[in-house]
Each structure stands twice: as structure tokens, then as C-alpha cells.
Amino acid sequence: MVSVVFGLLTACFFASSSLMSSRTVKVIGSPSSLAWMMLVGLVVTTPFVFAAGVPEQLSASLPYLAVAGIGNVVGILVAGYALRVGKVGIVAPILATEGAIAAVLAALAGESIAPIVAFLLMVIVGGIVLSAVAPDPEPLEHERPLMAALLATGAAVCFGASLFSTGFVSDDLPIAWVLLPARLLGVVALLIPLLLLRRLRITRGTAPLVVAMGITEVLGFTCFAIGAQYQVAITSVLSSQFAPIAAIMAYLLFKERLGRTQILGVVVLVGGVTALTLAA
């Protein structure tokens, strides 16, 4: 029951973050949006890092923390560009493949891929292709569905590598230390340079959104970590359902409509991710 509750909470937090990101990146751009979000996340995370103290396994975990941090930051940055040129209903389901990618990476690291896993990977790829090339009944201004799908796929790979690395250290480190690298990297490598170059942007309308994004992302990862301590598979499957939640909310809030073939692609994609997460 715990994994179900926290898996659903993870999905809701990630869906909320994706929806808000789709608005902010169109106004202030993906770099500024990410920079402010990571600053908020760092402010939220730092007190818990100090409270937890320096863990004994920190030195051995540093390589994995570096990959986790870089994968998360680059993934969010690329996902922001995808949301600038594509609909939430297309981009979010592709991003939701991050858990499946992490599972495949784990399998490749120590095991051969089972035939069912290979088949489900083909199903997921088919869902991505359908979503990307299907005709759009109501395209957005400056929309580029194929580019959005390619960018979202790249972001999902980055997220998958981040989750894969996080899995190696999640049992050895407090959750605050797992969250710290991406937020610290985002501030040092992105926010500070943008500030020095006077390219860091913010508006009155986007300010509350980036604050909420930083908080919901931290809450999403925290809920996922708690749920995964009980049942990883159930938590992963339910957290990946942020994709249909985001698509439905985008329709209700932003009137983003998908065509029948696009909806079919999303259904195939979400179904394939769910099956692969359970099978891997």
C-alpha cells in the first residue's frame, strides 16, 4: 500500500512539474527555467543535507552521484527544449520511458536482455514513432513534433542514466545527498554563468512557477525513494503514469488536443513502459 500511495504521489508531482515547465520554457527559455528550479531545489535540499551529516560511503559513491547529477540536469534542460516545440501530451509519455531505460541499463550491466524485454523495447520505440509522425489536428504555434520527440527521447536517456546511477547509491546515502548533486550542478554550472553573462531571465508570471517546479521535483524524487524502499516495480510503474496525467491536465488547462493516431502512440508507449518495468 505504501508503494502505491507514494508511486501515485510521484506521478502527480512529476506531472505538475512537467506542466509548469511547459509554460516557463516558452517565456524565459529552458536554461533560465532550469537554473531557477535548481536554485529552489538546492535551497530546499541543503538543510536536510546538513542534518544528515557526511555519510561514510560518500567517497565510493561520488562517481555515481556525478552521473546522476549530470544526467538529471542535462535531461531537464533537453526536456525543456522539447516542451518548447512540442505538446505535453507527446513529450511527457516519451520522458516517462526513463524508468524502462534505467531497467535496461541495469540489465546490460550484469545480465543479458530477455526476449520479452527486447520485444517491449520495440513496442516502446513504435509508440514514440507513432506519436512523432502522426498528423496533429490542432498544431501549436512553432510546433515541431518530430524534433520534440527526438529531444524528449534524448532527455529520457539522460534521465534513465541518472536513475540507473541513483540506484547504486540510494541504499547507502540519505535521500538528501542523492538529490544534492543535480541541484548543486545546476546552480554552479548554469545559474551562476547565466547571472554573470546577464542572461538569467525571470518574469512576474514565471516566478511562482519556477518556485513550484523546484519544490515539486524534490518532492517527486523523495516520494519515489520512499516508495521504492518497499516495492520498486510498483512504485516505478505508478510513477511512470505521470505521462497520461500530464496529457489529461494539458488538455483541461491548455486545451492541447491530440489526434487519434497520436493518442494511439501514447497508449502504446505507456503500455510498453508499464509492461517493461514489470518484466525487467
Total residue count of the chain as it appears in this document: 280
pLDDT over 70 (residue 102):
yes
Q: Which three cell numbers stand for residue 269?
A: 508507449
Q: What is the pLDDT of residues 262-279, one digit of tens each?
A: 778 778 877 877 776 666
pLDDT interval class at 133 (50, 70, 90): low
Q: Are 238 and 8 in contact (CB under 8 A)?
A: yes
pLDDT over 80 (residue 280):
no
CA gap 93, 152 in Å, rounded = 9
**Better-scored residue on pLDDT, 221 or 184:** 184
Check residue 181 and give its pLDDT.
Answer: 92
pLDDT interval class at 132 (50, 70, 90): low
Q: Where do we find the cell 518497499?
A: 230
Share of the chain above pLDDT 70, in %: 90
Give 132's contacts (C-beta < 8 A, 6+ positions apart).
Answer: 90, 145, 146, 148, 149, 150, 265
Q: Are 2 and 230 in contact (CB under 8 A)?
A: yes
Closest to 83 measured CA to CA, from 1, 143, 161, 171: 143
**Better-scored residue on pLDDT, 113 or 62:** 62
pLDDT over 60 (residue 112):
no
pLDDT over 70 (residue 87):
yes
Q: What is the pLDDT of residues 142-188, one digit of tens each?
A: 788 889 989 999 999 998 888 888 777 777 889 899 899 999 999 99
CA distances from 26 to 83, 140, 205, 247 (A): 8, 12, 12, 18
Check residue 233 and give its pLDDT.
Answer: 63
Q: Are 237 and 274 in contact (CB under 8 A)?
A: yes
Identify the helix (H) or strand (E) that includes residue 135: none
CA gap 188, 170 in Å, rounded = 24
CA gap 180, 227 in Å, rounded = 19
Give 29's contacts (C-beta < 8 A, 6+ positions apart).
Answer: 80, 201
Average pLDDT over residues 184-200: 95
pLDDT over 70 (residue 6):
yes
Average pLDDT over residues 191-199: 95
CA distances from 34 to 20, 30, 187 (A): 12, 6, 9
Q: What is the pLDDT of residues 46-58, one digit of tens each?
A: 999 999 999 988 8
**Better-scored residue on pLDDT, 35 or 255:** 35
Check residue 228 and give its pLDDT.
Answer: 73
Torsion of CA 109, 128, 89, 5, to 10 degrees: -30
Q: What is the pLDDT of residues 57-72, one digit of tens each?
A: 888 889 989 998 999 9
Check residue 110 and give its pLDDT.
Answer: 64
